[in-house]
Structures are given as structure tokens and as C-alpha cells.
Amino acid sequence: MSASLPSERLPFLLEIGSEEIPARFVPEAMVELERRLTEGLAAARLTAEGVRVVATPRRMALLCESLSTRQPDRETEVKGPPLSVAFGPDGQPTPAGLGFARKAGVDLADCARVGEGAGAYLVARRLEPGREAAAVLAELVPAVILAIPFRKVMRWGTHDLEYPRPLQWIVALLGGQVVDLCVGHLRSGRVTRGHRTLAANREVPLEGPGQYLSALKEAGVVVDQDERRRTIRDGLAACLAAEEPGGCLLADEDLIAEVVYLCEHPTPFLGSYGKQFAALPDEVVATALKAHQRYFSIVGADGRLLTRFASVRDGGTEHLANVIAGNERVLRARLADALFYWEFDQKQTPDQQTARLQAVTWLEGFGSVWDKTLRLAALVDWLWANGLGDGGPTPAPLARAARICKADLVSEMIKDGKEFTKLEGFIGARYAERAGESPEACRAIVRHYFPRTATGELPGDLFSSVLSIADRLDNLAGCWLAGFVPTGAKDLYALRRQVLAIMRIVLDLRRSLDLDAAVGFALGQVSACAPAADLEAARGQIGEFIQTRLAGYLAETAGRDPAVVRAVLPVRWRDPLAALAWSEALEGYRGRQDFQALATGFKRCRNILKGAVLADGERAGCFERWLEGGRGAGGEDFDALPEAAEKDLRRLAAAAAPGLRQAEAAGRQGEAFDLLSALGPAIDQYFEEVMVNAEDADLKRLRHAFVREIHGLFAKYADFGEVAPVE
């Protein structure tokens, strides 16, 4: 056995050269490269310190300050057969013994004998010499590169490789030595490439990893993304200070993050466009600037756009005037298009555009968007009359907004997925405004699309909120009947988010809405398109779907205790506001001792009844019966209950009933829980003193009826068993 060779540490560089990778892929890929390679090295017992990943559109590099050049040696141990199998009675090796040693790669004579007597067995111990890091890297690196999970990959040429764009070169250097490895047809080397235009894409040989960033900088490439980001920020600020001191850059973080990965050598500049586009809303101009050209907008002190824009060139300052003039021309052409749409669209009224929605399919087999607007109008009326309104008929601006809120889908500005499409709603409102529609209606046209994301801004005002809820209920009902029921990761129409939005809006409005009934109404409307659908089944499924989402929202976002939410939701899920209020109230009571007694008692009721509790329909009657002093659902007379503890509990429950009814009707949850908590000690007492399962069968039946009524009274408020202490 040889002594372990000394291991030294050397810097390591891996650079993956490619054609331009989509900017949005790069940050995720950098994280994956670092994670996968460092994990791979650790698994291979190679110590890597000071690892970082840098990237531009054309290259992604992992730099490691110090990497061990070989694995430590390792002693391996393989357990073999019992001695009685490995050796014959004569002490001579058997074929089994010899076979084991051969397979383990040692002489049988060198195998150790472990254990005593009949349990003794052979052990082969081997010193496995550590491998060179270069050999490990040659296997690890190609596997890691090709396993980086990109959102979309392609094939190219005749190669059997997949990457987001064609790979061009691989640099792999451990100290001054090339780590010889192959990624498909590409063999690693020490030659990288300079900036495509600043250095004519010239070959840049590297002596070692330490030289990487500086050698590339000399060749026009700023590989470090943080440095590029700084250059862009500082450069834009400097341009602004020099040319437009009153202006303020709309520092769009998403856009900066994207632009950082669209260039290898950023040089910021400012450009201008003419005043002839002043008729366009700022949002349209800003969208043209950002969505298509990746330009930054600049606003004046009044917050309005100046006719300037900021952008970044990939290259130096030479011939910058060309670049500025070119970009200005392009922008003018884009804005000219927008101005054409803006003027053309206004030749039609919102009603004329709405009529054209008859030709726009909403959901295959579920009619046109025009049909949808008719349903929205009816749904808005229903919501207004059933909890969301202020009484009286639907206000005219809300009814009007429901009818014309989708008109802009046929406008030139929005249709065909142009860059302005994400201004849907906003554009419709601007056109409506110019056609003389009321400000409230216009506001609802814009804001009925809110919230646009799971945590996005809510519609805010009442009309927009009602219309937003209506739109989402209609989507939910239609998509459900059309079979787009979310499963796992598949949720084509983002129904989870739509339900979440409905709940957020309702809670924001602080109004009660019976979601189950609302869903029922929405389903009824779309069922005209799906006559064969089982509406009751769909309503039940959607109810469960809503309940799950509401549970998640209350626990995760509203910060309510999950156990409390589980207790309250089965009773209150239909009305998110009530669900929140009762959860909050219950959370305040759950720690109290008398309340714990009540919760424990509740659980014991259910356990003793073995699930034979009052059905949903019988529960309301239970309340009436308590108001009259208490009797069983089957007419049982509780006067026959003999023990003091049950007489007490009965008296107290009956006495609490009227107060409970009042408190609930007035939404005074705390008071209701006060009343319920007051019953805690009596319940506790009851279970201590009363044998529910009495030997006398009649008495047992009677007590079960009694316990059922007690349980029923509480179950009206929550499933208290969920908040009971663990027994």
C-alpha cells in the first residue's frame, strides 16, 4: 500500500461559452450551476472554497479560489462470507472464499477475520487511493452542464446536445493546467473569447483562473454581473445629471435585472422622441419604451413623462451617436404605430366595440366574450342585491362598466397580442372616458382586472371590486364546467389565483358574501353552454376548492392559527369575512381554561357518539329546541335526566341560547365565545360525574340524545375538537 499523496489546493475556473442565452434564463442557471457543481465536488470529497458564479449573455463561469487537487485516500471495507464457508474443514480455501477475495481485489491471505466462533467472518480491507481532481472534474463537469434545468432548450447542427442556445467553447483550468474534458463534441481548453464588437470576438488565451476577469476586461467583456449593474445604474444617473437634471429615471428593477444580462459591456445613454406623441397616454408610451425596446422612462417633477428615454448600448462610447440616432428612429416608428391605433380605435364607441365581441370566442364551446358581458351584468346585479351592495338597484356606473369592460379586447391597441396587450382595461377606460362615460365606470373598467397577481394591488373601490369578483366567479364557473379543473401543477386558467383574488377582495370590502350561493348563480348562468353538466356536483367541488384556498389564505397570509381555521371553516367557509372574524375570535379564546374544558368536552361528545352527531339539517332545529329549554331531536324529554351535573348543564345551555343567538346575529363573536366559554366548567363537571353509556339502555339512549344536542349547539360555531388540547 502506498502512502497517501499530499493534496494541494489550486484555483479552478470553468467557463461555458455559448451563443446568446435568453436574459431571463441566466440568473436561475447561475444558481443551479453553483449548487450542482459544489454538491458534486463535495460528494467527490474535494474541498472547494471561495466559489462564485459570474455570467453574461454569452458565458457563464464558475470561479473557485481553492480546490483540492486530489481526493484523500479512503479505506474501504467489504464484509465477506463466514469463515466456515470460506474455508473447508481442512482449513483450505473454498471456491467461495477465493471468489470473494478476487472480487474484492485482495489476496485471501490479507483478509481480516472478524468475530468469534461460529459468527466469525471474513473482511476485505482496501486502501482506495484518492483520484486526481482533474479526473473527477472530467466526469462531473459535463454532467453538470448538461443537467442545468433551463426553461427551454434546443438542439443544433448534427450534435446530440441540448442547451438553450448552441454551446461554443469550454474553458476548464485547474491552476495553470487545462482540465481535459468533453461536453459533447466540444473539448475544453484555455481559450476564451473577447467582446464580439469591441474585441472582434478575438481569442483570449488564459494562463490561469486568477487572470480570468482581468483578461476579459481587456478584451471588452465585463463578466461580473454586479459590476455591470453598477455601471448601468451609475451611468444612467450621470447621463441624467448631465443632460436632464430635472428628470427622474423610473428605475424599474425588473428591467435593470434584464438589461444586465443583455450586454457584456454596458454603456448607458439618453435619447429623445418628439412632442408629436403627446396625445398618447403616458402608460402607452412607457409600455412602448419598456416592453419592446427595453428603454427606461424619464419623468419630470410633475410625474409626467418627459420626451426622453434612457437605454444601454452593448459596447463602448465610440460611434455612440449612431446608436442613439438609430434607437430614436426605431422608437419614433413604434410610437407612430401606437398613435395610429389610438386614433383609429376612437372612431368606434365602446358600444360598437362591445358588439364586435360577438366574434371573439371566450372559451371554446362556451360562447363569445359578448355572452360573457351579458352574464357579468346579471352577476353584478346578483352580487349587489346579495350582500355587496348598499341597498337599492345596481348603480348605473357599475351596470355600465359590466357591459363595456371588455370592449378594448377588439381594439387595435390591445388585440393580436401586441406589446400593449397588458394595458387591457386601462386602454378600454381611456377610450370610455373620451366617449363620455362616467369616471366611476372608467375606474371599474381599469380596476376590475385587479389584483393582477397573487399579492397584487386590489381594485379598491366598491364598483371595481364587485365587477372584479363577478368576472372571476364567471371564469371559475365556466372553466370548471369546461373541464379545466386544477390538478397538481396544472391550472391553465389560474383558478386558484382567481379564487384567492375573490377572497382578498371580499375581505378588503369587509362585506359578507355567500360564496356558495354566488357560485351557484354563476354556474346557473354558464350552464346554458353546458346543458349536460351536473351543476350540484360542480358546486360541491368548487365549494371544497374554495374552502381549501380559504384555509390556506387565513393560515398563511392572514396569520391565523391553522387549527383554529380548521375548526371554523366547515361552518363559515361560505362567507370569508365571517370565517376571518370567527377565526380571530376563537384564537383569542382558545387559551382560556374554561374554553379548553369546553373544547375537550366537545371532543368527548363526538367520541362518545361515535360520529352519530346531528346532521347539518338538524342543527338549526337544535338551536330552537335549546331556546325552548332543551329536548332531543327525536322528542326525548330531558326532564328524566337524573344527575345534578346534567341538570346543571342543561339549564346553563338553555340559558345561553338566547344570548348566543343575539351575539351571532350582531356579529359579536367575542360575546358568543364568552357565553360558550361559560359553559366550560359545566361540561367538565358533566363528563366527570355522568356515565353517558349507562347500563340502563333507556337512560343511555336519553343521554346520547342529550349529548347530541349539546354537541349540536357548539358545532354551530366551530369544530371545537380541532382546538382541543391533546388528551
Partner 1 sequence: MMEYQRMIARLQQFWIDYGCVMVQPYNSEVGAGTFNPNTFLRALGPEPWRVAYVEPSKRPKDGRYLENPNRVHQFLQYQVLLKPNPEDSQGLYLESLRAIGIKAEEHDIRFVEDDWESPTLGAAGLGWEVWLDGMEVSQFTYFQQVGGVRCQPVSVELTYGLLRLCMFIQGVNHVKDLLWGGGLTWGEVQGQFECEYSAFNFEHADIDLYRRFFDDREREARQLLEAGLVYPGYDAVIKCSHFFNVLEARGAISVTERTGYIARVRNLARLAATSYVQSRERLGFPLLKNQEPIR
What does the per-residue mask of binding to partner 1 show for 237-276, with x meaning CB under 8 A? -------------------------xx-------------
Residue 76 vs 322, nearer CB to partner 1:
322
Cell, residue 591 = 387559551
Which of residues 54, 63, 331, 675 is near partner 1 by CB under 8 A? 331
Residue 165 vs 422, nearer CB to partner 1:
165
Instruction: Name the minimum Å distance from CB 13 to partner 1.
Output: 23
- Cβ pair 583, 608 in contact under 8 A: no
Instruction: Name the minimum Å distance from CB 490 to partner 1.
Output: 22
Residue 184 touches partner 1, criterion: CB under 8 A: no
Which of residues 9, 45, 196, 701 is near partner 1 by CB under 8 A? 196
Which of residues 173, 216, 270, 323 is near partner 1 by CB under 8 A? 323
Rounded distance between C-alpha atoms, residue 110 and residue 122, angstroms: 10
Instruction: Name the minimum Å distance from CB 129 to partner 1.
Output: 40
Q: Which residues of 428-460 are buried (b: 16+ CB within 10 A; e: fewer)?
A: bbbbbbebebbebbbbbbbbbbbbeeeeeebbe
Rounded alpha-carbon distances, angstroms, from residue 79 to 74, 82, 87, 108, 427: 16, 9, 15, 13, 76
424: helix, strand or coil: coil
Residue 348 touches partner 1, criterion: CB under 8 A: no
Concatenated DSSP letters of 582-613: HHHHHHHHTTSHHHHHHHHHHHHHHHHHTT--
**Residues in 635-674 at the binding interface with partner 1, rule: CB under 8 A:** none
Instruction: Name the minimum Å distance from CB 626 to partner 1.
Output: 59
Number of H helices and number of E strands within the chain?
26, 16
Residue 454 touches partner 1, criterion: CB under 8 A: no
Residues in the chain, overall count:
727
Residue 254 vs 364, nearer CB to partner 1:
364
Grid cell 394591488 — which residue? 457
Handedness of CA 154, 160, 161, 162 (dihedral sign): positive
Instruction: Name the minimum Å distance from CB 163 to partner 1.
Output: 10
Rounded distance between C-alpha atoms, residue 318 and residue 248, angstroms: 26
Which of residues 76, 177, 214, 322 is near partner 1 by CB under 8 A? 322
Give the residue among 361, 395, 554 at the shortest CA–CA distance from 463: 395
Instruction: Name the minimum Å distance from CB 24 to partner 1.
Output: 8
Q: What is the CA radius of gyration of the chain?
A: 37
Residue 151 vs 651, nearer CB to partner 1:
151
Residue 189 touches partner 1, criterion: CB under 8 A: no
Say how many residues touch partner 1, by CB under 8 A.
46
Instruction: Name the minimum Å distance from CB 263 to partner 1.
Output: 8
Which of residues 227, 252, 337, 648 is near partner 1 by CB under 8 A? 337
Residue 24 touches partner 1, criterion: CB under 8 A: yes
Residues whose CB falls within 8 Å of the CB of residue 56, separated by 6 or more in sequence, listed in order:
221, 222, 223, 225, 228, 261, 263, 264
HSE value, Cβ hemisphere, 13 Å, CA-based, for 441: 26
Rounded alpha-carbon distances, angstroms, from residue 530 to 368, 373, 493, 550: 14, 18, 18, 28
Residue 344 touches partner 1, criterion: CB under 8 A: no
Give the residue among 545, 588, 572 at the shortest CA–CA distance from 723: 588
Instruction: Name the minimum Å distance from CB 58 to partner 1.
Output: 9
Q: Which stretch binds partner 1 (CB under 8 A): 132-140, 153-161, 374-382, 524-532?
A: 153-161
Residue 197 vs 307, nearer CB to partner 1:
197
Q: Which stretch binds partner 1 (CB under 8 A): 176-184, 197-205, 535-543, 663-671?
A: 197-205
Residue 417 touches partner 1, criterion: CB under 8 A: no
Q: Which stretch binds partner 1 (CB under 8 A): 69-77, 114-122, 331-339, 667-675?
A: 331-339
**Residues in 302-321 at the binding interface with partner 1, rule: CB under 8 A:** 311, 313-315, 318-319
Which of residues 52, 113, 155, 187 is near partner 1 by CB under 8 A? 155
Residue 187 touches partner 1, criterion: CB under 8 A: no
Q: Which stretch binds partner 1 (CB under 8 A): 70-78, 130-138, 336-344, 690-698?
A: 336-344
Rounded distance between C-alpha atoms, residue 714 and residue 708, angstroms: 10
Instruction: Name the minimum Å distance from CB 234 to partner 1.
Output: 20
Which of residues 47, 293, 307, 438 is near partner 1 by CB under 8 A? 293
Question: What are the backbone angles phi and psi of residue 667, rounded to the nearest 5°?
Answer: 70, 25
Amino acid at position 405, single letter: C
Instruction: Name the minimum Å distance from CB 371 to partner 1.
Output: 13
Cell, residue 551 = 384555509
SS3 content of the chain, % helix, strand, coil (to 5): 55, 15, 30
Rounded distance between C-alpha atoms, residue 639 and residue 642, angstroms: 8
Catalog residues that contact partner 1 under the rule CB under 8 A: 19-20, 22-24, 57, 152, 154-158, 164-166, 168, 196-198, 200-201, 262-263, 293, 311, 313-315, 318-319, 322-323, 325-327, 329-331, 333, 336-337, 340, 359-361, 364
